[in-house]
Amino acid sequence: MSTLLVAAKEGDASKCLTALASGALSGLNARCENGRTSLHYAAMHSLDKVCAVLLQRKDFSDLSVNAVDTFAGHTALHGAAVAASSKCCRIIATHCRFNKVSARDAKGMTAEDLALFFAERRGPTDGSVHAAAARTIADARVAQSARQTKTKSRDPSRYEVIPASYLY
């Protein structure tokens, strides 16, 4: 297992940031036995700076950014939602390479669903941090949907081709 993955699994932000600062990092895209990446563990431990640095790295692959674990079908966003980390939720959900804001886990729940589940379960006082995470995810979902719609509307293949004979 890579140094970064072990540090992330332990929730040690300083070790993670030291490993990431070392330049070319072997094992950057490594996964544990459950298919989780260092981004999963950073999100699960609310290590927002580690999440941000990982996502900024071009050598952290899109497959790792959007990885789904084999244990529960969770993305890193699911982990951040369970941890009630609004910062990690915002960093991950709004990143241009993350495209699984509405992904469902093995039980059919999105990250937003999980955050709302824990908010309800913990009540109005203890559940407020989960509710804030759910709002952050909902905002990111709406923004991502708007970006996708905007991109589709610019796609020339969506428009009907008008025969030249109609133009003259």
Looking up tokens 């600062």, which residue turns up? 21
pLDDT tens digits, the chain, 168 residues: what are they? 789 999 999 999 999 999 998 876 788 999 999 999 999 999 999 999 999 999 999 999 999 999 999 999 999 999 999 999 999 999 999 999 999 999 999 999 999 999 999 999 988 777 789 999 999 999 998 988 887 776 555 555 555 555 555 544
* pTM (two decimals): 0.84
User: What number of CA atoms fall less than 13 Å from residue 124's CA on the CB side?
Assistant: 0
